[in-house]
Amino acid sequence: MCVLGIETSCDETGVAVYDTRRGLLAHALHSQVALHAEYGGVVPELASRDHVRRVLPLVRQVMGEAGVSGDDLDGVAFTAGPGLLGALLVGASVARSMAWGWGVPAVAVHHMEGHLLAPLLEEPAPAFPFVALLVSGGHTMLVDVRGLGRYRILGESLDDAAGEAFDKTAKLLGLGYPGGPALARLAEQGDPGRFRFPRPMTDRPGLAFSFSGLKTRALTTLRDGSRDARLDADVARAFEDAVVDTLVIKCRRAMQAVGARRLVVAGGVGANRRLRAALAAMAAEEGGQVFYPRIEFCTDNGAMIALAGALRLAAGAQCGLEIPARARWSIDELAPV
């Protein structure tokens, strides 16, 4: 199965070609970060317009690099949700139309399923079943993954997603948008012993998360201290340590609850180095193993959509002539193909 994948759910246009026999043949990404930076967040209409500009040139580039033409493709996969509706519609219409033109099936992919399957692009790939920690800009959840389309949410954030909390706290620190990576860099210089922020919702059973209080805690700590580079770095460190610790505690609980030995971590916050080190240590203690996508596939990309589309197509999934796009769509609504 050779599949072209298109991702346009938010502020990156991602395109890739994945072949179930030969692996990932080519991929490219255009990030709109610079476009939205001056607004401090993603402006939906600007995002849609930029996807319109970028998607076809990227498709040409990636198909050229992969050395495939429309005749070589078995299908075209696209992100159908969740995400910004206008942005989703760009990728969905382009993908659906090209599939029609080439006479191959179109395959709708759930964006979070894409993130969750991204570690399957790597060697060694995790086998089913596993527990997945999805930590991105819009989601924080633990999922019991039994197979393709067999997902049960074990717990999720009641308020801010982990990435969102990173971005909002980074904004308080004047680090720009999206500030997660910059906050992590600042935390490197922080003193881990100066402040201790709470580990939200770890004092009771359950697998739900709540990160909005940490951002408030960062705000009050910054207000109470005399603001200098040292204070900023120490707050960044206290914040990062609290998020990382909380995620590790809940991952351990989730693995114990379902008896899983394999943990898959995906989504942008999965690029965080301290989180990776802490999860590796926890998994070693539990006799388990952690799997990640390569750093560039932690955040949004076309490769994960091409892969998920190829697996779905191989299992028999395809959509009709409609152009499906859903802003809100929970991953546990998916069914086995």
- Do the strands 23-31 and 12-19 form a parallel or antiparallel pair, or are they unpaired? antiparallel
Q: 231-257 as b/e, with b when 16 or more CB fall inside 10 Å?
A: bbbbbbbbbbbbbbbbbbbbbbbbbeb
DSSP label of 318: -
Q: Where are the alpha helices (DSSP H) in 137-228?
A: 162-172, 180-187, 212-224
Query: Residues 295-324 vs Fe ion: string with x where CB under 5 A?
Result: -----x------------------------
Q: Is 117 in the site for ligand ATP (CB under 6 A)?
A: no
Nearer to Mg ion, 167 or 300 (CB): 300
CB of 278 to Mg ion, least distance (A): 23
**Residue 195 contact, options Mg ion, Fe ion, ligand ATP, none, Cβ 5-8 Å cut-off depending on partner type:** none
Q: Is 246 in the site for ligand ATP (CB under 6 A)?
A: no
Alpha-carbon distance of 26 to 58, in angstroms, equals 11
Nearer to ligand ATP, 136 or 221 (CB): 136
Q: Is 272 in the site for Fe ion (CB under 5 A)?
A: no
Nearer to ligand ATP, 140 or 221 (CB): 140
Alpha-carbon distance of 110 to 330, in angstroms, equals 9
Q: Which two tokens stand for residue 61?
A: 């580039």
CB of 206 to ligand ATP, least distance (A): 21
**Which residue has the CB atom at the shortest distance from ligand ATP?**
268
Backbone torsions φ then ψ of 18, nearest 5 degrees: -120, 135
Task: Point out which residues bind ligand ATP (CB under 6 A).
Answer: 10, 83, 111, 115, 136-139, 163, 166-167, 178, 180-181, 184, 267-269, 271-272, 299-300
Binding site residues, Fe ion, CB under 5 A: 136, 300
